[in-house]
Amino acid sequence: MILGIAALVAIFALGDNLNRDIDSQAATLIGADLDLSSNRESTPAAKFIIDSLKKEASAVSEEQRFASMILFTKTGGTRLVQLRALRGAYPFYGVMETSPASAAADFYTGKGVLVDQTLMLQFKASVGDTVQLGTLKFAIAGILNQAPGQSGFASTIAPAVFMPLDAIAKSGLSQKGSRINYHYYYKFNSGFNTDELVKRLETRLDKRDLDAETISSKKESTGKSFADVTKFLSLVGFIALLLGCIGVASAVHIYVKEKVKSIAILRCLGLSSKQAFLIYLIQIVCIGFLGAVAGAVLGTLIQQLLPVLFQDLLPIKMSTLISWRAIGQGLILGICIAFLFSLSSLISIRKVSPLNTLRAVTPEGSQAKDPLTWFVYLLILAFITCFARLQLSNWLQTFVFSAAIVISFAFLYGISALVIKLIRIYFPYSWKYTWRQGLSNLYRPNNQTTILVLSVGLGTAFICTLFFVQSMLTSRITRSTDPTQPNMILFDIQSTQKDAITKLTKSNGFPILQDVPIVTMRLQEINGFSAADVRKDSSSKYSPRAFNAELRVTFRDSLTAAEQLISGKFQTRINQARDTARISLEESYARQIHAGLGDKLLFNVQGMLIPTIVGSIRKVDWNRVQTNFRLVFPLGVIDDAPQFHVLVTRVPDANASAAFQQKIVSGFPNVSIIDLALILSVVDGILDKIGFVIRFMAGFSIITGLIVLISSVMISKYQRIQESVLLRTLGASRGQVFAITALEYFFLGAIASLTGIVIALAGNWALARFSFEIPFQPNWLAVALIFLSISGLTMLIGILNSRTVLSKPPLEILRKNS
Amino acid sequence: MGILTVANLGKSYPSAGHPLTVLKGVNFDITAGSSVAIVGPSGSGKTTLLGLCAGLDRSTTGNVVLNGVDFNNLGEDERAKVRNQYVGFIFQNFQLLPTLTALENVMVPLELRGETNIKARSLALLDKVGLAERANHYPTQLSGGEQQRVSLARAFSNSPQILFADEPTGNLDTETGEKVEQLLFDLNKDAGTTLILVTHDLELASKTERIIRLKSGEVWSDEPIALQHGQ
CB-based contact A342:A254 (threshold 8 Å): no
Contact (CB<8Å) B56/A809: yes
Residue A200 and residue A238 in one domain? no
Residue A317 and residue A171 in one domain? no
DSSP H or E run through B6: strand B4-15
Contact (CB<8Å) A441/B158: no
What is the pLDDT, as a whole number, of residue A676? 74
When CB atoms are compared, the residue of B85, B89, B138 closest to A729 is B89
Between CA A784 and CA A806 the distance in angstroms is 31
Residue A82 and residue A140 in one domain? yes
Contact (CB<8Å) B76/A732: no
Q: What is the pLDDT of residues A94-118, one digit of tens each?
A: 888 888 888 888 888 877 899 988 7
Residue A206 and residue A235 in one domain? no
What is the pLDDT, as a whole number, of residue A216? 85
Contact (CB<8Å) B76/A437: no
What is the pLDDT, as a whole number, of residue A698? 61
When CB atoms are compared, the residue of B84, B97, B113 closest to A726 is B97
Count of all residues that appear for chain A in the document: 818
CB-based contact A468:A758 (threshold 8 Å): no
Confidence at A432, pLDDT banded by 50, 70, 90 = confident
- Residue A363: pLDDT over 60: no
Residue A243 and residue A204 in one domain? no
DSSP-based three-state secondary structure for B173: coil
What is the pLDDT, as a whole number, of residue A365? 45
Contact (CB<8Å) B171/A729: no
- Residue A481: pLDDT over 60: no
Among the ranges given (A256-260, A351-355, B70-74, B125-129), the one the predictor scored with the smallest mean pLDDT: A351-355
DSSP H or E run through A330: helix A324-346
What is the pLDDT, as a whole number, of residue B6? 93
| CATH of the domain spanning B31-60+71-228, picked from 3.40.50.300, 3.90.226.10, 2.40.37.10, 3.20.20.80 | 3.40.50.300
| Per-residue b or e along A153-178, where b marks 16 or more CB atoms closer than 10 Å to that residue's CB | bbbbebbbbbbbbebbeebebbbebb
A810 to chain B: nearest residue by CA?
Answer: B56
Residue A200 and residue A293 in one domain? no
Residue A274 and residue A315 in one domain? yes
Write the CA distances from A456 to A490, A493, A741, B4, integer angstroms: 50, 56, 18, 51
Tell me if A532 is assigned to some domain: yes
Q: What is the pLDDT of residues A58-76, one digit of tens each?
A: 889 999 888 888 888 888 8
Q: Which of B184, B54, B186, B115 is nearest to B107 (CA)?
A: B115
Tell me if A318 is assigned to some domain: yes
Mean pLDDT, residues A192-216 taken together: 84
- Positive or negative torsion for Cα A491, A497, A498, A501: negative
Among the ranges given (A596-600, A675-679, A810-814, B221-225), the one the predictor scored with the smallest mean pLDDT: A810-814
Domain containing residue A626: 512-649
Q: Does B114 touch chain A (CB under 8 A)?
A: yes
Please count the CA atoms within 13 angstroms of the CA of A482 that sit on its side-chain side. Answer: 11
Contact (CB<8Å) B95/A734: no
CB-based contact A489:A650 (threshold 8 Å): no
Rg (CA), chain A: 33
Which of the two residues, A5 and B12, has the higher pLDDT score?
B12
- Residue B227: pLDDT over 60: no
Tell me if A4 is assigned to some domain: yes
Residue A21 and residue A142 in one domain? no
Q: Which of A572, A574, A585, A552 is nearest to A637 (CA)?
A: A574
When CB atoms are compared, the residue of A441, A446, A733 closest to B81 is A733
Compute φ and ψ for B19, nearest 5 degrees. Answer: -70, 135
Q: What is the DSSP letter of B175?
A: H
- Residue B228: pLDDT over 60: no
Q: How close A468 gets to chain B, by Cα (Å)?
A: 40
When CB atoms are compared, the residue of A729, A733, A809 closest to B58 is A809
C-beta atoms surrounding B186 within 10 Å = 13
Confidence at B123, pLDDT banded by 50, 70, 90 = very high
Between CA B53 and CA B164 the distance in angstroms is 9
Between CA A661 and CA A521 the distance in angstroms is 29
Residue where one domain finishes, among candidates A156, A187, A220: A220
Q: Which residues of B touch A446 (CB under 8 A)?
A: 98-99
| Per-residue b or e along A564-584, where b marks 16 or more CB atoms closer than 10 Å to that residue's CB | eeeebebbeebeeeeeebbbb
Residue A312 and residue A200 in one domain? no
Tell me if A614 is assigned to some domain: yes
Domain positions in chain B: 31-60+71-228
* For chain A, the helix, strand and coil percentages under 3-state DSSP, each to the nearest 5: 60, 20, 25
Residue where one domain finishes, among candidates A220, A250, A265: A220
DSSP-based three-state secondary structure for B219: strand
Interface mutation vs chain A, best among B108, B146, B157, most A CBs within 10 Å: B108
Residue A94 and residue A195 in one domain? yes
Q: Does A424 touch chain B (CB under 8 A)?
A: no
What is the pLDDT, as a whole number, of residue A603? 92
C-beta atoms surrounding A75 within 10 Å = 14
Tell me if A504 is assigned to some domain: no
Mean pLDDT, residues B67-71 taken together: 90
What value of ipTM does the predicted structure carry?
A: 0.81
Tell me if A23 is assigned to some domain: yes
DSSP-based three-state secondary structure for A165: helix
DSSP H or E run through A505: helix A495-507
Instruction: Choose from A1-5, A51-55, A584-588 the range with maximum mean pLDDT.
Output: A584-588
What is the pLDDT, as a whole number, of residue A632? 94
Q: How close B166 gets to chain A, by Cα (Å)?
A: 14
Q: Does A191 touch chain B (CB under 8 A)?
A: no
Between CA B112 and CA B105 the distance in angstroms is 11
Between CA A533 and CA A540 the distance in angstroms is 9
B107 to chain A: nearest residue by CA?
Answer: A433
Q: Is A274 exposed, middle or buried (0-12, 13-18, 19+ CB in 10 A)?
A: exposed
Mean pLDDT, residues A297-320 taken together: 76
Q: Which residues of A touch B111 (CB under 8 A)?
A: 433, 437
| Amino acid code (one letter) for B95 | Q
Confidence at A717, pLDDT banded by 50, 70, 90 = low
B156 to chain A: nearest residue by CA?
Answer: A730
- Residue A359: pLDDT over 60: no
Between CA A435 and CA A558 the distance in angstroms is 66
B80 to chain A: nearest residue by CA?
Answer: A731
Residue A134 and residue A250 in one domain? no
B93 to chain A: nearest residue by CA?
Answer: A360
When CB atoms are compared, the residue of A441, A446, A810 closest to B56 is A810
Confidence at A795, pLDDT banded by 50, 70, 90 = confident
Mean pLDDT, residues B145-150 taken together: 90
**Could you tell me how far CA B23 lies from the centroid of its own chain?**
18
- Positive or negative torsion for Cα A189, A193, A195, A200: negative
Q: Where are the beta strands (DSSP E) in A527-636?
A: 529-530, 550-555, 563-568, 581-586, 600-605, 608-620, 631-633
Residue where one domain finishes, among candidates A166, A190, A220: A220
CB-based contact A786:A467 (threshold 8 Å): yes
A444 to chain B: nearest residue by CA?
Answer: B99
Write the CA distances from A777 to A150, A658, A755, B78, integer angstroms: 37, 34, 19, 53
Residue A75 and residue A191 in one domain? yes
Between CA A602 and CA A631 the distance in angstroms is 13
Mean pLDDT, residues A181-206 taken together: 86
C-beta atoms surrounding B120 within 10 Å = 8
A residues 41-100 closer than 8 Å to B (CB): none
Write the CA distances from A53 to A63, A542, A678, A745, integer angstroms: 16, 32, 42, 74
CB-based contact A267:A41 (threshold 8 Å): no
Tell me if A707 is assigned to some domain: no
Contact (CB<8Å) B98/A446: yes
The CA-CA-CA angle for residues A629, A631, A636, to 5°, reads 110
Q: Which residues of A touch B80 (CB under 8 A)?
A: 728, 731-734
**DSSP H helix total and E strand total for chain A:** 24, 21
Q: Does B61 touch chain A (CB under 8 A)?
A: no
- Residue A360: pLDDT over 50: no
Between CA B156 and CA B154 the distance in angstroms is 5
What is the pLDDT, as a whole number, of residue B230? 47
DSSP-based three-state secondary structure for A269: coil
- Residue A490: pLDDT over 80: yes
Bond before A611 cis per omega within 30 degrees: no
Q: Which residues of B touch A736 (CB under 8 A)?
A: 112
Mean pLDDT, residues B159-185 taken together: 84
A residues 792-811 closer than 8 Å to B (CB): 807-811
Between CA A366 and CA A561 the distance in angstroms is 65
Interface mutation vs chain B, best among A437, A443, A730, most B CBs within 10 Å: A730
CB-based contact A164:A86 (threshold 8 Å): yes
Compute φ and ψ for B33, nearest 5 degrees. Answer: 85, -5
Looking at the structure of chain A, the number of domains it has is 3
Tell me if A54 is assigned to some domain: yes
Q: What is the pLDDT of residues A503-516, one digit of tens each?
A: 999 998 888 888 89
C-beta atoms surrounding A507 within 10 Å = 9
Q: What is the pLDDT of residues A250-277, one digit of tens each?
A: 778 778 877 887 888 887 777 888 888 8
- Residue A176: pLDDT over 60: no
CB-based contact A335:A284 (threshold 8 Å): no
Strand partners, A552: A520
| Per-residue b or e along A371-393, where b marks 16 or more CB atoms closer than 10 Å to that residue's CB | eebeebeeebeebbbebbbebbe
- Positive or negative torsion for Cα A258, A259, A262, A268: negative
What is the pLDDT, as a whole number, of residue A446? 67
Residues in Cβ contact with A383 at an 8 Å cutoff, skipping those fewer than 6 apart: A336, A340
A722 to chain B: nearest residue by CA?
Answer: B97
